[in-house]
């Protein structure tokens, strides 16, 4: 149970930070990706020893396919992550007080590609720095993962919103930043990115079981 609680808390703070830094009043403007990557980093350090610090259904999928997450944990991780995202999405407007929400104008194929590419990058980094026997015990895994999200948000945030995370996509829908009818773009792109990252990890690390 404590693993799922950690996943709920970490995902909550990730989506809460997104809402608080992206929406006016009080938007962090161009610095928002730094705050988002930073909160992911610290939450990974805080909860990684308990749950693995996924906070992302795509990461959970990749870690499962790589063979480091029991199948029984997968649906409960997903539920906890999405519940944390929804809770954050409900709380942000209560604190901000009718924030100024400008829904993203998403071009579906460009957004699909952007989400697939950077979800691949994120899951690829997670698998290599946090699950590989060759990097076991390193102290920089949280930094590497957080900066991958920061780089992705700067690179393609204007294209897709820079979710790279199905739970974040649910949070964006709850916050009305992304229309609900675009959810499939995030889910499809992120699933593809995670699957390819796990497959490539297994090909490039054939002895790491």
Region 188-195: mean pLDDT is 98
What pLDDT is attached to residue 59?
98
- The residues spanned by each domain of the chain are 2-204
Cross-strand bridge partners of residue 24: 100
- Please say if the pLDDT value at position 154 is more than 90: yes
Report the distance separating Cα 164 and Cα 194, nearest Å.
10
- Please say if the pLDDT value at position 1 is more than 90: no
Instruction: Report yes or no: 127 and 62 within 8 Å, Cβ to Cβ.
Output: yes
- Please say if the pLDDT value at position 151 is more than 90: yes
> H or E stretch including 173?
helix 166-174
- Please say if the pLDDT value at position 203 is more than 90: yes
What pLDDT is attached to residue 26?
81
Report the distance separating Cα 188 and Cα 132, nearest Å.
26
Region 148-169: mean pLDDT is 97
Please give the structure tokens belonging to residue 5: 């609680």
- Please say if the pLDDT value at position 174 is more than 90: yes
Instruction: Report yes or no: 92 and 16 within 8 Å, Cβ to Cβ.
Output: yes
- Indicate the pTM of the whole model: 0.96
What pLDDT is attached to residue 104?
87
What pLDDT is attached to residue 102?
83
Q: Per CATH, is 2-204 categorized as 3.40.1280.10?
A: no
- pLDDT tens per residue across span 48-90: 999 999 999 999 999 999 999 999 999 999 999 999 999 999 9
- Please say if the pLDDT value at position 97 is more than 90: no
Which whole-number Å values give the CA distances from 82 to 11, 37, 74, in the listed order? Answer: 8, 19, 12
């Amino acid at each position: 149970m404590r693993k799922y609680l950690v996943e709920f808390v970490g995902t909550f703070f990730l989506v809460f930070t997104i809402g608080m830094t992206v929406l006016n009043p009080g938007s962090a403007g161009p610095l928002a990706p730094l705050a988002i990557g930073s909160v992911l980093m610290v939450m990974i350090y805080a909860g990684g020893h308990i749950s693995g610090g996924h906070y992302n259904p795509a990461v959970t999928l990749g870690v499962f396919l790589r063979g480091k997450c029991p199948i029984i944990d997968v649906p409960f991780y997903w539920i906890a992550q999405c519940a944390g995202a929804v809770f954050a999405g409900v709380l942000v407007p209560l604190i901000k007080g009718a924030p100024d929400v400008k829904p993203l104008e998403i071009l579906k194929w460009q957004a699909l590609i952007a989400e697939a590419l950077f979800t691949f990058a994120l899951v690829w980094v997670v698998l290599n720095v946090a699950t590989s026997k060759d990097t076991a015990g390193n102290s920089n895994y949280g930094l590497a993962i957080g900066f991958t999200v920061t780089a992705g948000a700067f690179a393609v945030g204007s294209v897709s919103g820079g979710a790279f995370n199905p739970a974040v996509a649910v949070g964006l829908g709850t916050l009305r930043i992304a229309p609900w009818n675009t959810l499939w773009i995030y889910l499809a792109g992120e699933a593809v990115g995670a699957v390819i990252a796990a497959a490539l990890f297994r090909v490039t690390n054939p002895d790491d079981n």
